[in-house]
């Protein structure tokens, strides 16, 4: 069924046909026809942000908490350049987004017109794919194709640049029946021969470990369920990247905690000492591997990934299985059951004893204080207060993000939204708003640092306007904490520009936006403050004043191996827990 309509109407119609309910955006000259089309309808809700970067992160939060494609609409020129950080963030963390940008009319393209920029040129490197639609005839196909490309294979952001004359032009719209790209066909099913070889390797393993990542979350809820089944069937320990937290429940006894630069001692040493590593939907990035030539030197590695360029990119693997984690895990669970495969029980028991020895180190322990709130304690108390509620957590980037990953324990996928690959300060608040709009009744908390949150603080205004009752839990140490920590450890304690003088009064700032503002600096009053934050309707900023010079441990200094980890001063002395060989590793 073809209908005649304008290009602007096609944009709105295609979004609706794709099941979009919320579009985050900011109007401007080159998208006015689309805003006019939005004005005449009610199903598609537009969320007006205060900066286009906020629209991109909000759409990311929306997408990652729902598994759907996030959608945003911005104008040409500065509108498009302002979303570049958000698009890059989505590219590195594989978040499906469709970003509609306005463009100057086709006859003005290339003339340096007002608010013109080469949007497809600029975003070519920070999107999975992008389009400039020069003819109304192509518009319906491109719009639907954009959603297909964004969500299939390794998900990512897609930009559709629509010149203003194309928005005004009239053409025929029909929803394509198959909604596919003519050549783009990511492979979903893994090669059975390789899967069998992987299972054979797993069955012989004496010191195995699962290393999982965001690919499981992207693959969907069923992939997390299958992962849990496979991990329980095999009895192997499991760790995850920052992006993969929640795919496997943190309360499970086979869970080792997050791995990597600020991961747990037991997870990193298990990675270093394992003989078989099963990597599912993770990509061996430098924050995970540490020093590459000393990375897990004695293991044979299996890598399951949907992106062929991730396999053998940083780390050479024995068995690379190209496919969607969900499909591959399904085959693995089925075949493991069918063959009644059994891992070497006695070797596995010994391996678990070694791991328990590492666990006894209690690598996340810290010296608490009754004088000042320790940031770790603040996250622990927050977790205790919200764990039995329907909650979603976003973060900004830095120490608070790592403490959140270490001390907040995730049981379910899609509950944890953080900027992993790009490390974008300012991600958390707009992302929280996106999450809150997708889950209006849930408790959505942005665990923030005072420096990061200021980068997109203007979005408080968005939260107020759209009645998104997000809670901003600021761990305020007045420093860019992670920068300060690196300066302390690597630059002789010369704290160049990492202290923020003249911070705003966050309580008054919250009030200025029309939100509730609170401050807490007394550990004894922290629980009450958290309770008030949770029970207050509407957006809240809780300025939690924490100790200023706390460092985030454990830490693998960059360029070091997993067994060269720095521990906090309070970690247990494990001299009597592990043997001489183990000690040599510390």
User: For residues 506 and 451, what is the distance between their CA atoms, to the nearest angstrom?
Assistant: 12
User: Site residues for other proteins, window 435-464 (CB under 8 A)?
Assistant: none
Catalytic residue among 16, 21, 115, 189: 115
465 carries an active-site annotation = no
Q: Which residues contact 353 (CB under 8 A, 6 or more apart)?
A: none
- Judged by CB under 8 A, does residue 291 bind other proteins? yes
CB of 214 to other proteins, least distance (A): 17
Site stretch for other proteins (CB under 8 A), options 267-275, 515-523, 531-539, 559-567: 559-567
> Strand ranges (DSSP E) for 235-309?
238-240, 255-258, 276-280, 300-305
Decide if 170 contacts 6 (C-beta within 8 A).
yes
Q: Which residues contact 8 (CB under 8 A, 6 or more apart)?
A: 33, 34, 36, 37, 167, 168
Among 13, 50, 51, 129, contact with other proteins (rule: CB under 8 A): 129
Tokens, residue 531 = 């309770």
- Judged by CB under 8 A, does residue 182 bind other proteins? yes
Nearer to other proteins (CB atom), residue 536 or residue 551: 551
Nearer to other proteins (CB atom), residue 185 or residue 525: 185
Decide if 498 contacts 479 (C-beta within 8 A).
yes
Catalytic residue among 482, 533, 555, 565: 482
- Judged by CB under 8 A, does residue 560 bind other proteins? yes
CB of 316 to other proteins, least distance (A): 8
- Judged by CB under 8 A, does residue 39 bind other proteins? no
Catalytic residue among 114, 387, 411, 583: 114
Catalytic residue among 9, 24, 52, 103: 52
Tokens, residue 282 = 């993770």
Among 128, 151, 301, 374, contact with other proteins (rule: CB under 8 A): 128
114 carries an active-site annotation = yes
236 carries an active-site annotation = no
DSSP 16-73: HHTT--EEEE---GGGHHHHHHHHT-SSSEEEE-SSHHHHHHHHHHHHHHHSS-EEEE
Among 175, 181, 206, 232, contact with other proteins (rule: CB under 8 A): 181
Q: What one-character DSSP code corresponds to residue 98?
A: E
- Judged by CB under 8 A, does residue 189 bind other proteins? no
Among 21, 229, 286, 532, contact with other proteins (rule: CB under 8 A): 286
Decide if 36 contacts 6 (C-beta within 8 A).
no
User: For residues 102 and 106, what is the distance between their CA atoms, to the nearest angstrom?
Assistant: 11
CB of 89 to other proteins, least distance (A): 17
Nearer to other proteins (CB atom), residue 119 or residue 167: 119
CB of 223 to other proteins, least distance (A): 21
Nearer to other proteins (CB atom), residue 138 or residue 527: 138
Site stretch for other proteins (CB under 8 A), options 213-221, 283-291, 386-394, 515-523: 283-291
- Judged by CB under 8 A, does residue 312 bind other proteins? yes
Would you tell me how many other CB atoms lie within 10 Å of the CB of residue 465?
A: 14
Decide if 122 contacts 81 (C-beta within 8 A).
yes
User: For residues 426 and 417, what is the distance between their CA atoms, to the nearest angstrom?
Assistant: 13
* Look-up of token digits 């849990």: 228
196 carries an active-site annotation = no
In the sheet that holds 416-417, the strands lie side by side as 416-417, 391-395, 443-449, 471-476, 540-545, 516-520
Q: Which residues contact 548 (CB under 8 A, 6 or more apart)?
A: 477, 478, 479
- Judged by CB under 8 A, does residue 137 bind other proteins? no
555 carries an active-site annotation = no
- Bridge partners of residue 25, in order along the sequence: 48, 73
CB of 563 to other proteins, least distance (A): 13
Nearer to other proteins (CB atom), residue 53 or residue 289: 289
Catalytic residue among 5, 9, 145, 164: 164
Task: Please list the active-site residues.
Answer: 52, 114-115, 164, 482
> Where does this chain bind other proteins (CB under 8 A)?
120-121, 124-125, 128-129, 132, 149, 153-154, 181-184, 286, 289-293, 307-309, 311-313, 316, 489-491, 557-560, 566
């Amino acid at each position: 069924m073809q209908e005649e309509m304008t290009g602007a109407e096609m944009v709105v119609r295609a979004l609706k046909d794709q099941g979009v309910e919320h579009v985050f955006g900011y109007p401007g000259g080159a998208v006015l026809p689309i805003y006019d089309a939005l004005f005449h309808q009610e199903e598609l809700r537009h969320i007006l942000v205060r900066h286009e970067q906020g629209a991109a992160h909000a759409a990311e939060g929306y997408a990652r908490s729902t598994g759907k494609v996030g959608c945003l609409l911005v104008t040409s020129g500065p509108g498009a350049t302002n979303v570049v950080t958000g698009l890059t963030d989505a590219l590195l963390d594989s978040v499906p987004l469709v970003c509609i940008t306005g463009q100057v009319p086709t006859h003005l393209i290339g003339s340096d017109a007002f608010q013109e920029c080469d949007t497809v040129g600029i975003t070519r490197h920070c999107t999975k794919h992008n389009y400039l639609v020069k003819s109304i005839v192509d518009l319906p196909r491109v719009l639907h194709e954009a959603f297909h490309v964004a969500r299939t294979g390794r998900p990512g952001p897609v930009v559709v640049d629509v010149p203003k004359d194309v928005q005004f032009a009239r053409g025929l719209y029909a929803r394509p029946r198959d909604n596919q790209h003519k050549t783009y066909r990511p492979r979903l099913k893994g090669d059975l021969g390789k899967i069998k070889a992987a299972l054979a390797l797993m069955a012989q393993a004496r010191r195995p470990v699962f290393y999982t990542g965001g690919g499981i979350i992207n693959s969907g809820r069923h992939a997390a369920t299958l992962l849990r089944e496979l991990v329980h069937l095999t009895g192997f320990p499991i760790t995850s990247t920052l992006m993969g937290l929640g795919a496997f429940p943190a309360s499970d006894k086979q869970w080792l905690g997050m791995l990597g630069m600020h991961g747990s001692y037991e997870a990193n040493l298990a990675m270093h000492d394992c003989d078989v590593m099963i990597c599912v939907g993770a990509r061996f990035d430098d924050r995970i591997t540490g020093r590459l030539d000393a990375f897990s030197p004695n293991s044979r590695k299996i890598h399951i990934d949907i992106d062929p360029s991730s396999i053998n990119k940083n780390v050479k693997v024995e068995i690379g299985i190209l496919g969607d984690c969900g499909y591959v895990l399904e085959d693995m669970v089925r075949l493991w059951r069918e063959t009644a495969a059994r891992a070497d029980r006695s070797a596995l028991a010994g391996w678990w004893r070694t791991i328990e020895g590492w666990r006894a180190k209690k690598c996340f322990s810290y010296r608490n204080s009754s004088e000042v709130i320790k940031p770790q304690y603040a996250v622990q108390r927050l977790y205790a207060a919200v764990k039995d509620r329907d909650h979603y957590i976003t973060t900004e980037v830095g120490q608070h993000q790592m403490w959140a990953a270490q001390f907040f324990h995730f049981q379910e996928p899609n509950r944890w939204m953080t900027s992993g690959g790009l490390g974008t300060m300012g991600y958390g608040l707009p992302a929280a708003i996106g999450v809150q709009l997708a889950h209006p009744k849930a408790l959505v908390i942005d665990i923030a640092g005072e420096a990061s949150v200021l980068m997109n603080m203007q979005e408080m205004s968005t939260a107020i306007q759209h009645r998104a009752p997000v809670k901003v839990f600021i761990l305020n140490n007045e420093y860019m904490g992670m920068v300060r920590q690196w300066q302390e450890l690597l630059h002789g304690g010369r704290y160049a520009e990492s202290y923020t003088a003249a911070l705003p009064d966050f309580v008054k700032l919250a009030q200025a936006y029309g939100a509730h503002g609170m401050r807490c600096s007394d550990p004894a009053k922290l629980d009450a403050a958290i309770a008030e934050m949770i029970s207050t309707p509407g957006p809240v900023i809780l300025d939690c004043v924490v100790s200023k010079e706390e460092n985030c441990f454990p830490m693998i200094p960059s360029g070091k191996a997993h067994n060269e980890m720095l521990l906090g001063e309070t970690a247990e002395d494990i001299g009597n827990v592990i043997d001489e060989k183990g000690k040599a590793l510390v």
